[in-house]
Each structure stands twice: as structure tokens, then as C-alpha cells.
Chains A and B, each alone.
Chain A
Amino acid sequence: MAKLLSMEDKDLGTIPSVTLRTSSYTDLDLSFTTKPDFGSGLATDVYKKFDADAVKQSIKNLLLTNHFEKPFDPYFGGNITRLFFELADDLTESEVEDDIKYAIETFEPRVEILNIFATIDPDTNSCIARVVFKVISTNKVTTLETDIARLR
């Protein structure tokens, strides 16, 4: 016995049980690497990043940006490298962690921070930051680990 629904309610039987999930977030891959052409010789597009990868790239970008680098938005960025121009002490790691937390909470509403670890290397004026976060729209937990260092 075939069951039919009205035209307004659509016929469930014709709707596929598997649908394409649209990505919440799409972004350009900032490495600007092009996709392989598989020997065709034709120009190909650059890679994109989706969802958690896009958000991860965004957080890395945020942490590596200092104040006054973004045009017309002087207080955008983690502004973390300023701490590496001072002598490192017992509080520097927690300062880095606070700065990372503040920057992400202020500029990246797509994630929920789960944990932040900062390990300072005073000899090289740098630190390794490890951020564990959850992408709110997908509940996917991801970890970002990046080096932050003075350029000079």
C-alpha cells in the first residue's frame, strides 16, 4: 500500500535519505596553494578551508596579529609578541594565556574555549601556545598549536 502525502507536504518517498551537509564556515586557505591540475595544464583554484579548519586558521591568524596591524581597527589581534620584548618571569605564561583568552572571546564568536596552555621559552623570546576549543555550530573539539615569536 502506497502512502501519499499532499503536494504541499511533499512526498517523503521521493526525498533522499542522505543529503549534502552545507558547511557552516568556508574560508580561503591563506597558504594560497593551488589544487593539482592532474596533468591537464589548466589553471586550478586555490584550496578552501571548511568549518573547524576555517575557524582554526582564523584563531591562528588572530593570535599572530598585533595591535595597529589591521587597518582602521587598531586594537584587533592577540598582541602577544609585546610580552616577548620584556624579561620573562613566572607570570608571563599566564599573561599570554589571558591575552589569548581575551582575544578569542572578543573576536572569535564561533568557538568556545576549553583550555589554553602557553609554554614560554625565555632564551628565544618565544612561546608555544596550545588552544583547545569547540566549534559551537558543530560541537567539534579541535586543538590549535602554534609558535609565537618575535620577528626581531
Chain B
Amino acid sequence: MATNITSTELDFENIKNSLKTYFAQKSEFNGYDFEASGLNNILDVLAYNTHFNGLIANFATNESFLNTSQLRSSVVSHAEGLGYRPRSRSSSKSTLSLTLDLSAVSSGSRPTNITLPIGTEFTASNEQGQFKFKTRVSYSATDSGAGIYEFLDTNGEPNVVVYEGQNKTKTFYSGTVTENQVYIIPDETIDTKDMSVLVYPSPTSEKFETYTFLENAITVTAATQYYDIKEAPNGYYELNFGDGISFGKSPDPGNKIVVTYNSCNSILANNSSGFSAVNDLSVDGNSYAISVNTQILSHSGMPREPIESIRKLAPIQFSAQQRLVTSLDYKGMIQSNFPIVEDVTVWGGEENVPKDYGKVYISIKYPINTTQFVKTETENSIKNLFSDNLAVMSIDNKFIEPSLTYMEIKTNFYYNDGLTSQSNSYLETLIRNYISTYFNTNLGKFESKFRRSPILTGIDNIDKSILASKMSIKLQQRFLPNVGISSAYDIYFPVALASANTNTYVITSSRFTVGGATCTLRNTLGTADIEIYNESAGKVQTANIGTYDYKTGTISLVGFEPTAIVGGSAYIKVSAVPLDPAVISPLRNYTLVLDESENEAFGNIEHTETKIVL
């Protein structure tokens, strides 16, 4: 969140009071303090003028820094100074499987190849309405032998990618070179990744030169034909070219510049389905219906980059300098280029458990309901478009799913029943809900730490009747065992665990059965050994089924063979007491979430009188 430069000293009342104080020391005018007096009216004017100038100075100062800017135009301008381009809208896209049926045509008359041209249009709809999609590249299909043509991409896969939006065209005529012309496109809906800029020598010429986006240029010389597009202060877009001297070619005076861009509906078009081609495809003068099979609902449509994102990512991108070296470089690159990514964490293989040198581990948190296809596509893009080009050689990426670590919270609180009319159970519900809300608001992201004392402070402030509170915490990992098969398991916790003691169990688990007996896992008191405890018989079923290492937070099970899991779930919950329950700092790809079924609160009435005998 941006901070503001304070303007409280410039409040109208403060200024006017200062002027009144001045007049109070003078005997010449003593009617100043009456609101209707003439002098008071003049004080109003003076104070208002000072206040107004002060505010202007304050606003101007606010807008002068990236951290304090409030206006989008200022944030974008500061980001530009750091070489950062705020994202434009991005089109929603979908992957289709397209076939054309020419089986009715005799094999001798059928063409060998059929091309699906660029800009082939499709329609699809969602609850927001109907949207148009189109192809950005051409696809070709070959005869299967039976007259069925399936369109394939360059990898030979039947994946035809279509993007939402419609083409719009703007035509400009170049002025004199000395004026350094900037061409304004008054449209905020541009997807800048889908633009073409053609320069014709004259208004009637059919020949043209294609200019490419500056971001894609490898080297720029005086003859390089590139264009640059950026967001203008009013939210529109500005197109400009090189200077024609040393940094890129500039269109000559009188040249016609034709800009074609995609105007898209961004996020509104996501989750569209029911794709169908707008027109039939013409082959040798005959039209054939395109058969469409939607592989995936449309996705990845995003609005323009919000201000807070620009504020956060511009300095990171600047420090990365278009290179991927540190973990922060990767984070900045991924978050600025892949708006679908909600959160990301990156660490080197040398920090991984087990260590894996020469790798960069990336864990990405996507919005709920993101399909595996989209995740795979995003990860491939990160690798192909960025890390292969910008990262240190011989360093590979490894994508890891985020790992949830559940927390079990038991809260004991003490309250004065004379200060509240609410019942014990009502207060308990209040506290459970507070903890649940706290987790939803503050945790669930990478590197989000759990700190116990702020929660306890919050609990104490929920109601004036609550006098004190305490909280016991356990971490919980869930694993899917091979039921009926003897297997070895390593269960990792993101923090160090408490060392074994002779009074309480550090490791416990949910119930499962072994040969018909209901059992749980636990550590043997006073040792780091893990045993299977038979609850039905009240005795240890199997001693030394594994061990736990409290320093690394790892539980290792050997020859573990449950027969079934009690409770209907497919997983066993393994709970452990952390070494330091005051602060839980999850490492790497771990995120902390609350196990709602283990969020318990217990109220105790505390009477104010002190008893002499306990």
C-alpha cells in the first residue's frame, strides 16, 4: 500500500488559527474572532489560499515518487523511468481442435494440404455474453486419407489457439522527421502483444514495410524497423518509432502508417465455451463447415496491470536488468509477465531438501479452478520465453506444486461472565471465526508467517469480557498411503519440530486400521522413534516403524502398511508440535492454512475474587 506525504499541518483550521493568534497579539483589530466580521472574512481568504497552495504542493510531492504516487499516470511514468512497461490488457484465449470433412470429395480431387488462415473467426459465450475469437497464426492440415483434415500446430499437435477480441485499424500519415512524431491510439482496450505496424511509402502504394515491436528487437541500428508502444498519461496508447539517425528507422514524411491491433474484453471473456466458426472454410471454391472441439474453456484474459502491481514490480524488474539470476529476478519476471499467477516463490536447488544443485525451484499459486492445461502452458511459456533466454546457462527450472501445511489451533480463553450477556458457546464461536478470518486474510501465501501473539491480542480485543487467552499449536501434513502395501514414506514439515520428551507426544496422527484394529501413529515417549499404537487394544501394535528428525522436521516411516483409513478420507493426517510455536515461518513452497476441523476454542470463567486456598 502506498504511503502519503502528510498534509495535516496545512489544514484550513490550523492555518486560520495561526492567523487569529497573530491578530490576538495586536490591538489594532479586535473583531477578528467573530465569524461574520470583515476581518474574519479576509482571514478566510488568506487561510483558504494558503491551504490550497499547501495541498497543491502536497499533491505534487506525492506524485513525484513511485512509492507515494496516487495517479495511475504518475505511477506509469515513474515505472517508465525504470524501464518497466506496465501490462496492457491481455486477451482471453482458448485451445481448439479443428477438423474439416472432405470425405464427400473424391480422393483425386482433394487437396493435399488445407490452410486455416490468420484471423479465422470463432464465437463463444459465457454468462457475460457472446465474444469473438480469432487465430493469430495460420495452421495447416493434411488429408488423413479418408478426407478428414485436422489442423495442427508447428509441433504437430491438434492445438489451434484462438484469442478473444476484434481487429481495429488506425491510419496515420507521417509528418516531418524533425518533429519526432508520436502517434496516439485513443483506445484503452489494446492488447499490445497483438499488433501489426505496416508502413507504406505513399497513400496509394501497395508495398509496405513491417515494423516489429521494440521488445522483440535483439539489436537496434539506424536501419532497424521497430515501433514502440506505451501507455500515455491519459490511459491511451502512444506509438513511436526510432529517431532515424542511430536508434531505429523513422518513417519518412508522407509515409502511410497502418496500425492494426486487437481490442479485447480481457477478463470478461474468460470461461467462454461453445466455440463455433463464424464462416465456413473455402477450399477450391467450395465451402466446408469447420468442426470445432473445445479442448479448454477460454482463460488468461486479464485487465491492465493495476497500480499496486506496477509499484511493486517496476523496481524488481529494474534490479533484474532483463536477467534471471536471483530468486527475486524470477519472481519479478513471472509476476509481471503472467497475470494469471496469484503468487510465486523461487528458491535455488542448494536450498532444497534434498539438495539439488543446478536447479531453480519455482512454485506457483494459481487461482482456484485453474486447469492443469493452463498451468502446463504457463510453465512452458516461462521456460521457453524467459528462462531459456535470460537465465544463467546450465541452470534448469523445476516446477513444484505449492504444499499446504495445515495448522491445528486450540485456544483457551478466560472471561468475566459479569461483563457479558453472551454465552460461553457464543464467545467460543466468535473466537473460532476470528481465527478463521485471520488465516484467510493474512496467511495462505508464500512466505506468509504465522505469529501467535497478534492473534492472541486480537482475541483479547474481541470482547471486553475476555481477560486472557492462550493457544496451543500443531502443524499437520497429510499423506496418501498405499493401502495394503508396505511402503516407506518421508513426511516433511516446513519448520523444526519439538524434541521428544517423556510427558507428551510430539507426533500424533489420525486413525487408520491395521488388520482390523484401529490405530494411530505417535512417537515413543522420550524418543524420536515412531510407533503404531493400537487404540482398540490400548497397546503398542508395532514399535519402531520409523523415526523423526526434529531439526529438519522430517518424519520417516519404513514398512508402513495400513489396511484402511478411518473416517472416509484418502489421507492420513500427521500432526507435530513445532519447536517454536510463537512464529511459524514456512520455507520454500509451503503455505500455512487452517484445518477448520481442528480449530477449537474453550472458554473458562474467571472470577475476580482471589481465593486463599487453591
Contact = CB atoms under 8 A, between A and B. Distances in A.
Contact of B48 (A24, A61, A71): A71
Contacts of A61: 36-38, 41
A54 B13 contact: no
Contact of A110 (B28, B34, B38): B34
Nearest to B44: A71
B31 A107 contact: no
A72 B12 CA distance: 8
Contacts, number: 61
A91 to B, nearest CB: 26
Interface string A43-60: 000001100001001110
A72 B39 contact: no
Interface stretch (A3-11, A27-35, A114-122): A27-35
A148 interface: no
B31 A58 contact: yes
A13 to B, nearest CB: 28
A27 B39 contact: yes
A108 B12 contact: no
Given A25-B30, A70-B44, A108 B38 contact: no
B42 A28 contact: yes
A50 to B, nearest CB: 9
B30 A26 contact: yes
A109 interface: yes
A71 B12 contact: yes
B29 A28 contact: yes
B596 interface: no
A27 B12 CA distance: 22
Interface centre among B38, B39, B41 (most CB of A within 10 A): B38
B598 interface: no
Contacts of B29: 26-28, 48
A58 B37 contact: yes
B351 interface: no
Contacts of A142: none
B35 A27 contact: no
B34 A65 contact: no
Contacts of B36: 58-59, 61-62, 65, 107-108
Given A71-B12, A71-B44, A28 B39 contact: yes
A25 B48 contact: no
A28 to B, nearest CB: 5
Interface of A: 22-30, 48-49, 54, 57-59, 61-62, 65, 70-73, 76, 107-110
Given A27-B37, A54-B31, 19 more contacts: A22-B27, A24-B30, A25-B34, A25-B37, A26-B31, A27-B31, A28-B29, A30-B38, A58-B31, A59-B36, A61-B41, A62-B35, A70-B44, A71-B47, A72-B12, A72-B13, A108-B34, A108-B36, A109-B34
